[in-house]
A and B are shown apart, each in its own frame.
Chain A
Amino acid sequence: MSMQDYPVVSVRDLSKHYPLRSWWGGKDSVFRAVEGVSFDIRPGETLGLVGESGSGKSTIGRAVTMLNPPTSGTIAFEGTDLAKLSAGAMRKMRARIQTVFQDPYAALNPRMSAGDYVAEAFKLHRRDMRRPERREAVAALFQRVGLDPRFMGRYPHQFSGGQRQRICIARAIALKPSFIVADEPIAALDVSIQAQVVNLLQDLQDEMGLSYLFISHDLRMVRYLCHRVAVLWRGRIVELAEADALYEAPRHPYTRRLLAAVPVPHPAEERARLAARDIASHDQPPDGPLTEVAPGHWVALPQEQRA
């Protein structure tokens, strides 16, 4: 394995269980939100995480960043097992691991100016920086994400949704992290703004060699943006492959069902797709150990169906 291929993030057998209590407080059982998930993310790579609501994709994002630590499993970030870090060491580590949240309306503190919000990264992790230096650095970040630095003193409500997401991104890249979890970063944005944010994320990746875990339900955007894609079904990965391979030749029945449901923005094709659609089955898809069926193409299928 060359240095280049050494993963930034290596997740092994990640599980997140929630205790379920019946109303009289008796007999505990667990809800397995995520079960035995493993993947690597290489430097400069974008791994897409797709699946429907309840598939556990956001849970994985919050577990990987230790915002909601997993029940079991290891998360090795640049060789360090995050679960073994003390609270203080984990806080220091957050300079290298960042998150861009879904709702830029909710992710900004309404009573903190945009500039202060971005500057917080330096306040926490670059104690040596003085106020004028910080100001300058924040102004540069504003410029980098396409915001007028003269707006640093404004409050979140004075910005549009796209601008707010840029503020969040500026804050996330402030400390030059190597890994960013982007949890539905464009879902709350208008169509005309989504492309701006996706392009920005891609430019930053090219410039800074960032790795992304891109969580999204927009399957077309995931194919466009991601190098590899993992498909989740009820907390488990059912298929993981290079994006084009997965979309062109999905092996798992659930992946096929999911991809077949994506509308095509082309009238004739979309009408044909609607006409041809079989009624979707809600049967439990087949399951089995995640196995490599082609180089880099992993599928969870029972032995006899892996052809």
Chain B
Amino acid sequence: MSTGTPIAETAGIAAPTGSPGLIQEPGTVTAFWRRLRARPSAIAGLVIVGLLILMAVFAPWIAPYDPTATDWGNVRGSPSLAHPFGGDEVGRDVLSRIIFGARASLGAGLVSVALAVSLGLPLGLLAGYAGGWIDGAISRLTDALLAIPFLILAIALAAFLGPSLVNAMIAIGLSATSTFIRLTRAQVRAVAAEEFVEAARAMGNPPWRIAFVHILPNIVPAILVQATLTIAAAIIAEASLSFLGLGQQPPEPSWGAMLNTAKNFMDQAPWMAIWPGLSIFLAVLAFNLFGDGLRDALDPRQRA
């Protein structure tokens, strides 16, 4: 049984709901928004993610200074009215670097995960639904990739592709792909065993339609949740690559690169670490909150 808790079942919640008068069902999108709105933490996550993205997009207009401009009067300068977040080791304005750094960090998170999902979802769907030797081949490849730690794989790929932010995104995306293949495959296999998939076959649905119309919508929530978690991991991975000189190239800012530089100056200029650290924390938290809310809101069984 796919709905409710056993208790809810015994207590008879499955009975028809609502009064007979109220029948106009909200459209799918309206209902989705209603369920999402009912979850304050998800809305908070969404708002923060939205603000961060706006910040990244409009960085040149928001940032008070050029993020790469050095100011010898502001070397490790403590926070002040002119530089609210202080200055870094060569006197660049930390606030401006945080604002511009959002471009690299969020970009790395979103682009790499988009790449991982767009590769992993179709491959996982194919493996899970087609089965046989196709499944065997894809699964073995996935296992092999998963045997290498995520970060090591990303570093190796980034080194192979050459140091640049775009290559770092590709490297992170490819490294995360196997997770999505594996998750999709497992989800597909679980859903494919459900009776409504057999009912779909009994109605004469061709295999592609079963995969896309009956199975896919039922696995999207799990993929989305994994995606938000992976965005968080990708932001951290980009930071690590930047530290190794494989991601964002100096002097362009990224939160990860800033944090890694800052750790040498923890005693003298803790703000150099605090702000990028907080930014990463906030972005990761926001994506996780939003992901959790999204999962619930995408489930029509959940109440608004």
Query: Which positions in A face B, CB cutoff 8 Å?
Result: 65, 67, 88, 91-95, 98-99, 101, 103, 105-113, 120-121, 124-125, 148, 150-151, 153-161, 163, 168, 171
A-contacting residues, B4-36, CB 8 Å:
4, 14-18, 20, 23-25
Known A107-B196, A124-B204; further 20 A-B contacts with Cβ < 8 A? A67-B201, A91-B205, A91-B206, A98-B202, A101-B199, A105-B2, A106-B2, A107-B199, A109-B196, A109-B217, A112-B214, A113-B25, A124-B209, A150-B24, A155-B300, A155-B301, A157-B4, A160-B14, A161-B14, A168-B199
Residues in chain A near residue B218, CB distance under 8 A: 109-111
Q: How far is the CB of B240 from chain A (nearest CB, A)?
A: 38
- In angstroms, how far is the closest chain B Cβ from the Cβ of A122? 10
Q: Are A158 and B16 in contact (CB under 8 A)?
A: yes
Tell me whether B17 and A108 are in contact (CB under 8 A). no
CB–CB A163/B16 < 8 A: yes
- Binary A-proximity of B80-106 (CB < 8 A = 1, otherwise 0): 000000000000000000000000000
Cα–Cα, bound, A160→B4 (Å)? 13
Interface residues on B, range: 20 to 34
Q: B interface vs A, CB < 8 Å?
A: 1-4, 14-18, 20, 23-25, 194-196, 198-206, 209, 214, 217-218, 300-301
A31 to chain B, nearest CB (A): 20
Least distance between B12 CB and chain A CB atoms (Å): 9
Contact B204 A92 (CB under 8 A): yes
* 8 CB-based A-B contacts, threshold 8 Å: A98-B203, A99-B202, A103-B1, A105-B2, A108-B196, A153-B24, A157-B4, A157-B301
Secondary structure at the B interface, as helix, strand, loop or mixed, is loop
Name the contact of A109 in the complex, choosing from B17, B200, B201, B202 (C-beta under 8 A): B200
Q: How far is the CB of A293 from chain B (nearest CB, A)?
A: 36
CB < 8 Å neighbour of A67 from B15, B198, B214: B198
Q: In chain B, what residue has the closest Cβ to A94?
A: B204
In whole angstroms, how far apart are the Cα atoms of A155 and B196 in the complex? 14
How many A-B pairs with Cβ below 8 Å? 93
Given contacts A109-B218, A157-B4, contact A151 B23 (CB under 8 A): yes
The reply to whether A153 and B206 contact each other, CB–CB distance below 8 Å, is no
Q: Contact: B204 with A91, CB < 8 Å?
A: yes
Given the complex of chains A and B, what is the CA–CA distance between A95 and B300 in angstroms?
Answer: 29
Of chain A, the residue at the smallest CB distance from B12 is A160
For B1, B201, B205, the residue with the greatest tally of chain A CB atoms inside 10 Å of its CB is B201
In the complex formed, the residue of A with least CB distance to B199 is A107
Q: How far is the CB of A196 from chain B (nearest CB, A)?
A: 14
With A106-B2, A111-B217: A148-B20 Cβ-Cβ less than 8 Å: yes
List of A residues within 8 angstroms of B199 by Cβ: 99, 101, 107-109, 168
Collect the chain B residues with CB atoms within 8 Å of residue A160's CB: 14-16
- Given the known interface contacts A98-B202, A124-B203, A161-B14, the answer about A107 and B195 at a Cβ–Cβ threshold of 8 Å is yes
Asked whether, in the complex, the Cβ of A101 is within 8 Å of the Cβ of B198, the reply is yes
Q: In the complex, A125 Cα to B218 Cα: how many Å?
A: 24
Q: Which of B25, B202, B214 contacts A65 (CB 8 A)?
A: B202
Decide: B205 and A105 in contact? CB cutoff 8 A: no
